[in-house]
Structure 1
């Protein structure tokens, strides 16, 4: 059983991290390491298994990554084209397409190194594989823990429900993405109001250069036009970023009630990063996600991961640099 000890240790550290504050990216990494160590421990147990089982597992280890890579590339390319068709060619909409092309480029580089026998290409391919492997591991950790975090539901009464803005259509109309947030925020409000303690719902969003009014005002209008009680609405109309959304909303909540508790509502792909930002800004509450169109999720998730990765750029670029150096030294 000693082979399972490292995995158990990291699962324990993960549990402690979640109990301290589930809004930590370190929780995602600890969970990823724990699952990886558990998988390795299970593989070592195969030596006790019948020969047929060992052979089947060996075939699966070889085939599944290959099949999975092909399926992933196809999915990313198809999704990228869907994003371009439905959302336009803005850089943020190209991320899944670029990710698919990046995987193809890496595979082509590895194939070229094998076919040509070039030492330099082998060094380049190996180094790229190490760096991409590290980033991929972090991405899987991010997606896995974000999924778990998204299963969290408010269990206690809160004083405020903060709905984050996301931009307007035509300068004054609420788009479907933002409507999803507002509808989920209203759902949280109504669930608590039914228990006799209605919270204040804060619409949060300032006025962009191409908008005719602050997002928070359009968001409030969207709700009141659908019967939401205006006396339970507050507007935060200065923010331009998620961090400002939370900082300025925090100021409103602290002024209204010391020791407040809140729920922050955004789309599900944005929930974990918003939770990390909420922890950073000292907001006393967790983040609740609203549904997003399935085709929009991959590119949006890649964008969210990139933002989290760059928020720890010193550590991540430092590790990528060390991996690149190891790749070069190993090939010499």
Structure 2
């Protein structure tokens, strides 16, 4: 057990120290967590077999009862969070996302109770639940792994002084910087002052259909007017429409501004967005780590869930392949009973 644990930890540290901005790092961290939980369960006294090799009755109760209990608690928490979001952020479909996820949790709980405790005999019901559980379990494993790794990445301190600080846009209200974007700009200025006012700030964001000016223009105006930084210390990238373009277009500006000199940069975004943005920075061949600005706590669960869906989309063919393998595996089992 000790050798396997050391091996898992060594693999994670190797991946993490060589390149933090990889999705596989989150998966390995999740597998490490699963291994530790498995060992705890295997050595927990209530779950140990007795002399006849039978798991204790208390252990069975814990195993069977924990799943629906956790599902019920999480579903209630998600419904409550969506209610708060609708009240504070408006009646938008994206604010219902967590409620939809909570509904899936609730359905899984009801299905589990129906299958396990009502003692349904027909094997097809058990196989279908097994299929749903595998898909659900795979998704929740990835979600938990990404959440844990994003937290580790967010709290990893920077060990270098950047030459450039990229502030990523997040949308305007007309020509006004909203609180979410203001928190990013405030953090960018904080990093600027922390590094002796030497870096150049790049504000990155184009103009949306419902915006009067480009995000970059409004962001620069906010920094100059509110924080009183010199205009020449703030460069504008005003063509991008998403994070991938934020990174690529900002890199082009830095390459031109540096005039062949080597440089390092950091990017600033909200804390829930740092990990996914770091992967886009890596894809743009940008030598930059991320710093997260604070986000209202009630906003975090829904926002991170959207981030997780975005990460799934980035690696969609890997996940589609896994889903196909799961479907094929369950299909073979189902064929044996039909």
After TM superposition, is the score higher than 0.5?
A: yes
Q: Please say if 1:325 is aligned against 2:328.
A: yes
Q: Please say if 1:228 is aligned against 2:193.
A: no
Partner residue of 1:35?
Answer: 33
**Where in structure 2 are the equivalents of 1:178-257 lying within 5 Å?**
178-193=181-196, 198-226=198-226, 227-257=228-258
After superposition, the C-alpha distances for 1:118-144 in whole angstroms (9 at most, x for unaligned) are 443332222111100001001000000
Q: Secondary structure at the match of 1:207?
A: coil
Q: Secondary structure at the match of 1:225?
A: helix
**Where in structure 2 are the equivalents of 1:284-323 lying within 5 Å?**
284-323=287-326
Distance change (3 Å), C-alpha of 1:237 and 1:128:
same
Among 130, 141, 145, the alignment partner of 2:149 is 145
Shift of 1:38: 2.3
**Where in structure 2 are the equivalents of 1:249-288 lying within 5 Å?**
249-257=250-258, 258-288=261-291
After superposition, the C-alpha distances for 1:155-212 in whole angstroms (9 at most, x for unaligned) are 321100000000001x10000000000000000001112xxx6100111000111111
Shift of 1:327: 2.8
Shift of 1:231: 2.0
How many equivalent residue pairs?
A: 325
Shift of 1:64: 4.4
Among 173, 176, 180, the alignment partner of 1:177 is 180
What is the alpha-carbon distance in structure 2 between the residues aligned to residue 49 and residue 326 of structure 1?
29
TM-align CA RMSD: 2.3
What is the alpha-carbon distance in structure 2 between the residues aligned to residue 112 and residue 277 of structure 1?
44
Shift of 1:57: 7.0
Q: Secondary structure at the match of 2:165?
A: strand
What is the alpha-carbon distance in structure 1 between the residues aligned to residue 31 and residue 87 of structure 2?
38
Q: Which runs of 5+ in 1 are unaligned?
A: none
What is the alpha-carbon distance in structure 1 between the residues aligned to residue 59 and residue 131 of structure 2?
28
Distance change (3 Å), C-alpha of 1:56 and 1:287:
farther
**Where in structure 2 are the equivalents of 1:16-31 lying within 5 Å?**
16-31=14-29
What is the alpha-carbon distance in structure 1 between the residues aligned to residue 195 and residue 61 of structure 2?
53
- Mean CA deviation greater in 235-244 or 77-86: 77-86
Partner residue of 1:131?
Answer: 135
What is the alpha-carbon distance in structure 2 between the residues aligned to residue 37 and residue 8 of structure 1?
11
What is the alpha-carbon distance in structure 1 between the residues aligned to residue 111 and residue 145 of structure 2?
26
Alignment check: 8 A CA contact 1:265 1:289 kept? yes
Shift of 1:148: 0.4
TM-score, normalized by length of structure 1? Answer: 0.91
Q: Secondary structure at the match of 1:279?
A: helix
Shift of 1:49: 10
What is the alpha-carbon distance in structure 1 between the residues aligned to residue 177 and residue 221 of structure 2?
9
After superposition, the C-alpha distances for 1:306-332 in whole angstroms (9 at most, x for unaligned) are 111121111111111212332343353
TM-score, normalized by length of structure 2? Answer: 0.89
Partner residue of 2:86?
Answer: 84
Shift of 1:281: 1.1
Shift of 1:67: 3.3
What is the alpha-carbon distance in structure 2 between the residues aligned to residue 221 and residue 183 of structure 1?
13
Among 88, 95, 98, the alignment partner of 2:97 is 95
Shift of 1:105: 1.7
Shift of 1:83: 1.5
Alignment check: 8 A CA contact 2:154 2:292 kept? yes
Q: Which runs of 5+ in 2 are unaligned?
A: 51-55
- Mean CA deviation greater in 72-81 or 111-120: 111-120
